[in-house]
Chain A
Amino acid sequence: MESPDISKTIDAVWKIESPKLIAALARMTRDVGLAEDLAQDALVSALEQWPKDGIPRNPGAWLMAIAKRRGIDHFRRNKLVDHKHEQVGYEMQARQEDSAPDFDAALDDDVGDDLLRLIFTACHPVLSTEARVTLTLKLLAGLTTEEIARAFLSAEPTIQQRIVRAKRTLADKKIAYEVPSGSELNVRLGSVLEVIYLIFNEGYSATAGDDWMRPALCEDAQRLGRVLAGLAPNEPEVHGLLALMEIQASRSAARIGPKGEPILLLDQDRRRWNQLLIQRGLTALARAERLRPERGPYTVQAAIAACHARARQADQTDWKRIASLYDELATIMPSPIVELNRSVAYGMAFGPEQGLEVVEPLVGNPSLSEYPYLPGVRADLLFKLKRFDEAKAEFLKAAELTKNASQRALLLQKAADCQRSTN
């Protein structure tokens, strides 16, 4: 029975089944940490038995049965002083007895609600951002601690520690295993979306030569986004974020050059953009806009990405629409980076003078003092206005700030062009 690939098969089953398993166990035990431990116990059993006996016909139900049995043992062993725990132990046993023939249906019925509870718990604001990201990948994306460590260029014990601490925090603060409602929902959903987008961006920022686990984070985030869109279909920003990720991911084949150098959006070969992902992104965007005409920040960013995606060539970009979308974004989510992007859009839509007007107030902003794009953007605008001396100084400043060697070479080249234009 044993084949060299069985451990990979078990990994694959784990990836598919573990979020549902942990989510359902967390409902039964009312303890996410314990649920994860029980699920891990079941995985250990699978790793022992499946290579000998083969993969069971319904691996999800098999894992659930083992985890439940361990759960009942756990509660019995602790001989519960605490009435609540005793109750939970009985409930698990009762379920075990009633539902034994059809675990799978039981697992499927409420699994959506359970998964949603699990997402909200893993992304609870009581946890640090790092802990939320780690827990989400562990509990909901089925990544191992080793994979998470590789993806975030950290040591495995660090990640392990982070998970242990996060689980303890959830228990100590008695975080309820529930989907928040009312006014709390928006704040909590914001945290979930932030975590998913952070995972995506971590993958998107991977560079050539990185471990492949890093760029794979983009796919993990897209997958989480799609799962969330199914679980919370009426939340416009969920579709907005999904649209943003699908459209950004559509460019992945075009954004890195043959030598691993990053290629800027306007210089990318658009024929290499993945049209299936663009279509998916545009569909998700339309859905977000249909659900609520006043766009949230992710939906606006997706709408901007969609303007680029719709332009067959860079010079067909609807910059006026992009400029007005940046106005919208600057109102609902003001930040120096948004302003900087808005200045680029204004420069493209209405001319360099107007772009410069938006960018000038940012000069001296401490949060951008190390940011090469600020002088870079100013330099481009000044160059277009034929103010070559000033442009040259800004190109040099940008070259000094950038950490990317090929970008530095490009900026120095542009500074030299200013010199030539002056002469």
Chain B
Amino acid sequence: MRFMMLVIPKGYESAPQDAMPSADAVAKMMKYNEDLARAGVLLSLDGLLPPSAGVRVSYSGGKPKVTDGPFAEAKECVGGYWMIQVKSKEEAIEWAKRAPMADNELIEVRQVHEMEDFPADVQAAAAGFEELQGRK
């Protein structure tokens, strides 16, 4: 089964566009990434620029509206993720516990919906969904 571990770093919601992690934090993170890869569980990973470099597209009355970041109302935001393939939810949690996070940072562990979990009619409606996944 696959899980996404979402990193939610405290303060990232209001970080400047050019915010960069320290060399030390990056080194620790690289070590952790390597541990995941060496254990054969890592499928993919990415880090995201802060919301100040992003936009939000909201919808009202069928019309999309674009707002530039940062977003005053946001209390937390995703800073990056790992996609892992493990045997159980507990194993995903164990990996999350090993991440080199600072105080106040958190990781949200979320299971990926597998198509087999859906009833037949939803599967039929979602035909083509897998094709859209994993593209870079």
CB atoms of A5 and B90 under 8 A apart: yes
Q: Does B133 count as interface, using CB distance less than 8 angstroms?
A: yes
B56 to chain A, nearest CB (A): 26
Interface readout for A258-270 with B: 1 if CB under 8 Å, 0 if not?
1000000000011
Residues in chain A near residue B106, CB distance under 8 A = none
The reply to whether A12 and B116 form a contact with Cβ atoms under 8 Å apart is no
A interface, over-half SS = helix
Instruction: Identify A276's interface contact among B37, B83, B114, CB under 8 A.
Output: B83
Confirm or deny: A273 has a beta carbon within 8 angstroms of a beta carbon on chain B.
yes
Distance (whole angstroms) from the CB of B87 to the closest CB of chain A: 6
For B104-130 the 0/1 string (1 means CB < 8 A from A) is: 000000000011100010010001111
B40 close to A274 (CB less than 8 A):
no
Judge whether A16 and B94 touch: CB under 8 Å.
yes
Residues of A within 8 A of B40 (CB): 222-227, 230
Contact A15-B134, Cβ < 8 Å, known A112-B38, A276-B83:
no
Across the interface, name the chain A residue whose C-beta is closest to B87.
Answer: A15
A273 partner residues in chain B, CB cutoff 8 A: 130-131
Q: Which residue of B is nearest A7, CB measured?
A: B90
**Which A residues are CB-close (under 8 A) to B99?**
none
Chain B's interface: helix, strand, loop or mixed, by majority?
A: mixed
**Given contacts A273-B131, A274-B134, are A226 and B90 in contact (CB under 8 A)?**
no
Docked CA distance A222–B37 (Å): 12
A280 touches B90 (CB 8 A): no
Contacts of A230 in B (CB 8 A): 37-38, 40
Contact flag A16-B39 (CB < 8 Å), given A222-B85, A276-B44, A276-B83: yes
Number of A-B contacts (CB under 8 A): 86
Query: Which residues 289-333 of A have a CB within 8 angstroms of B?
Result: none
A274-B133 contact given A9-B93, A223-B41, CB 8 Å threshold: yes
> How many A residues touch B, CB cutoff 8 Å?
34
B75 within 8 A of A: no
Check: B76 CB closer than 8 A to any chain A CB: no
CB contact under 8 A between A275 and B130, given known A222-B40, A223-B41, A253-B116: yes
Which residues of the other chain, B, contact A224 by a CB distance below 8 angstroms? 40
Contact A8 B37 (CB under 8 A): no
Q: Are B136 and A279 in contact (CB under 8 A)?
A: yes
A26 at the interface (CB under 8 A from B): no
Flag if A16 contacts B91 (CB, 8 Å): yes
Is B116 a contact partner of A271 (Cβ separation < 8 A)?
no
What 0/1 pattern do residues 58 to 98 of B give for CB contact below 8 A with A? 00000000000000000000000001011110110111000
Q: How far is the CA of A232 from the CA of B87 in the complex (A)?
A: 24
Task: Check if A13 is an interface residue, CB within 8 A of chain B.
Answer: yes
Given A274-B133, A277-B134; A269-B85 close (CB under 8 Å): no
Chain B residues in 8 Å Cβ range of A258: 120, 123
CB neighbours of B30 from chain A (8 A): none
Q: Is A219 among interface residues, defined by CB-CB distance under 8 A?
A: yes
Q: Is the Cβ of B41 less than 8 Å from the Cβ of A276? A: no
Q: A19 — nearest CB in chain B belongs to which residue?
A: B39
The distance in angstroms between the C-alpha atoms of A254 and B126, with both chains bound, is: 13
Minimal Cβ-Cβ distance residue in B for A269: B127
C-alpha gap A279/B88 in the complex (Å): 24
Is B43 an interface residue when CB atoms closer than 8 A count as contact? Answer: yes
**A-B residue pairs, 6 tightest by C-beta:** A276-B134, A226-B40, A223-B40, A275-B134, A12-B90, A271-B128
* 6 further contact pairs, Cβ within 8 A, besides A226-B41, A253-B116: A9-B94, A226-B40, A258-B123, A271-B128, A272-B128, A276-B83
Contacts A/B (CB < 8 Å), 7 sampled: A223-B39, A223-B40, A223-B85, A272-B129, A274-B134, A279-B134, A279-B136
Query: B residues bordering A, Cβ < 8 Å?
Result: 37-44, 83, 85-88, 90-91, 93-95, 114-116, 120, 123, 127-136
